[in-house]
Amino acid sequence: MVIKEVTLETVCGITSTLPENDKPEIAFAGKSNVGKSSLINALMNRKSLARISATPGKTQTINFYNINREIYLVDLPGYGYAKVSEKEKEAWGKMIERYLHKSTMLKAVFLLIDIRHDPSKNDKMMYDWILHQGYEPVIIATKLDKLKKSQVAKQLKAIRTGLGLVSGTTVIPFSAKTKQGRDEIWEYAESRLFE
Ligand code: GDP
């Protein structure tokens, strides 16, 4: 995808009405600090349009980035941030559920997992939940550059097992630092966006 124009078009808070977009969307989910903003910036060739968090998990919004007036990248709020109250977590869950349920233009969901860690309970819940909403998420294993090469295959396997991935699920290792995996993610996204 050649990125010509990027705008942060809509920011939805917990009580906002979701936009009724008429262009295809791809969405990104993951726990806070997993590297979601860094990935979205890398996909858009922008240094810092998506916020890179000093205080992870603070902003509970769904952000819609309009790319080339053709498609939307949808940044879902990060989960698993310890300092968020139960009430806020519940509101967060409802907001994502509403989006996954209501969007008629959502073509693919990507779930981000830090390649260094085995998936957490929250990751597994998120994966199952996305499946339950009728989407088969593609997994992006983030921060690839932080892992020794010799450990990569083992950790990818741990992610598959830990999440209980449906067989045939695509897992793409990615580094925001080296941009390894970027082209593969776009290739996959485009195959779904324009099918
Ligand atoms: P978010 O909370 O999921 O949006 O995560 P951020 O994109 O804000 O990243 C969290 C932290 O991890 C930041 O300090 C990033 O610089 C760092 N980070 C994110 N992706 C990578 C990566 O691929 N490699 C390395 N080395 N650091 C990363």
In DSSP notation, 61-110 reads -EEEEEETTTEEEEEPPPB--TTS-HHHHHHHHHHHHHHHHH-SSEEEEE
CA 44-48-54 angle, 5° bins: 135
Q: How far is CA 9 from CA 18, 50, 72, 108, in A?
A: 12, 12, 9, 19
* Site residues for ligand 1, CB cut-off 6 Å: 30, 32-38, 52-53, 56, 78, 142-143, 145-146, 175-177
Report residue 104's pLDDT band, with 50, 70 and 90 as the boundaries: very high
pLDDT digit string, tens, across residues 73-83: 999 988 877 67
pTM: 0.95
- Write the single-letter amino acid at 33: N
Q: Name the closest-CA residue to atom 18, ligand 1.
A: 35
Q: Where are the domains of the chain?
A: 6-193
Element (H, E) at 187: helix 182-193
CATH classification code of 6-193: 3.40.50.300
